[in-house]
Amino acid sequence: MATTTIQAETKWWNGGRSPFNASYGKVMMWYFLMSDAFTFGAFLISYGTIRFSVNNWADPNHVFNAFPFAGHANLPLAFVSLMTFILIFSSVTMVLAVHEGHHMNKKGVEKYMLLTIIGGIAFLGCQAWEWTHLIAGHHDVLVNGQIEHWGTTVTKNPWGSEVMHNGTMVATPGPIAFGGYFFGITGFHGFHVLSGVVINIVMYIKTKLGHFDQRGHYEMIEKAGLYWHFVDLVWVFVFLCFYLI
Amino acid sequence: MSEHVVSPEVTFAPAHTSGTKRIWKTFWLLSFITIIELVIGIVIYNIHKGEHPNHTLVLAFKGAVCILTLAKAYYIVAVFMHLGDEIRNMIITIVVPLALFIWFIIAFLWDGNSWRNLRNTDAGSRPTQEQAAPATKKSGEKE
């Protein structure tokens, strides 16, 4: 198919065809993702504004330094890199499912959709562990001259600057916005992952039932894939804003 | 092979390669960039741990990580989401509105920074009458 000549000679805006050479559903999926990008962007930029406006923001290497079954070992960046690689890999299996769909290979689509679903569930499991660890792990904080034991929640931030108290260094309460932004943004992302897993399970079942073979194309896999890649894309920025810088 | 028509509004099906080489190449590229980011993260961590952290150096490394993240975003959108294989009209309708982010990021981070300056100096405060007379109270002693 001489696509390049078609592309050059077609009058895209004269009607009768999509000017974007894409089906209605796919174009709308892209517009939805664009609007979702602005929602996430607004959250992350708001977080950046507040973080810029205070003097003692929590040091991510200090807050996120735990790893399952590693006790109190100081391992900054380790767990979050595992989560990042899980999501990148599930993105690869998703794009491989789309690829198999282009070639009408039902068995291949099933295999890669299943791997993508497993990757998504693994990521959610990691996030559940991280949240539990942050909320349940208590730290000494000096509040009004008294030592209290605080977990990291939306109302309590035990990661403020350290002061000398009775001969030892102890943390003071940090900016209250930290927990709200962290749990709010990673929670909103996690909810996207959850809905992505649900969508992928639906697509897996529909593939298994042969719906796409009857329809003659696997475009639904492509649309679900767009959503899943977007979830990975957002994680790249959450990873940057909360853990790396 | 991939001539199945999705819908009548689509003029031609984009050419789909038969191999998966490009997908795996992109995967290794993304992993490689992530590993570089992690190495820079560890470097920043060690600079912070040191006696006199060099803030300019930390800022430079953080800027480098931001650029690497944008590179990752480009590869995910262009290859994994196949936006690079779409026609020009489609690419433009998605990418051009995102230019709003340029203003969005600059304006709001600038605002946050200004807020901190007001917090740390007395530039933002209006002295009350008692304060105005003796003017002995010093603000901005944090850090």
For A109-161, the pLDDT digits (tens) are 999 999 999 999 999 999 999 999 999 988 999 998 889 999 999 999 999 88
Run of H or E residues at B48: helix B21-49
- CA distance linking residue B41 with residue B38, whole number of Å: 5
A20–B93 CB contact, under 8 Å: yes
Strand locations in chain B, DSSP E? Answer: none
Mutate to test the interface with B, among A47, A49, A84 (most CBs of B within 10 A): A49
Partner residue facing A88 (CB), from B4, B30, B98? B30
- DSSP H or E run through A168: strand A168-171
Q: What 3-state class would DSSP assign to A136?
A: helix
Would the CB atoms of A52 and B109 count as touching at under 8 Å? yes
Residue of chain B whose Cα is closest to the Cα of A8: B87
Q: Which of residues 75-134 of A touch B (CB under 8 A)?
A: 76-77, 81, 84-85, 88-89, 91-92, 94-96, 98-99, 102-104
**Residues of chain B neighbouring A96 (CB-CB closer than 8 A):** 20, 23
Q: What is the pLDDT of residues B21-80, one digit of tens each?
A: 999 999 999 999 999 999 999 999 988 888 888 889 999 999 999 999 999 999 999 999
Q: Which of A21, A50, A76 sits opposite B87 (nearest CB)?
A: A21
Q: What is the pLDDT of residues B120-131, one digit of tens each?
A: 887 767 666 666
Of B40, B44, B94, the CB nearest to A30: B94
pLDDT attached to residue A238? 96
% pLDDT > 70, chain B: 83
C-alpha separations of B11 from A216, A219, B4, B6, B139 in Å: 17, 15, 12, 10, 67
Helix segments in chain A, DSSP class H: 3-9, 24-53, 60-63, 78-102, 106-136, 177-208, 211-215, 219-238
Pick the CATH number of A23-68+80-244 from 1.20.120.80, 1.20.1250.20, 3.40.50.1370, 2.140.10.10: 1.20.120.80
Test A76 with B16 for CB contact under 8 angstroms: no
3-state secondary structure A100-129: HHHCCCHHHHHHHHHHHHHHHHHHHHHHHH
> Under an 8 A CB cutoff, do B41 and A77 touch?
yes
Residue B134 pLDDT exceeds 70: no
A237 touches chain B (CB under 8 A): yes
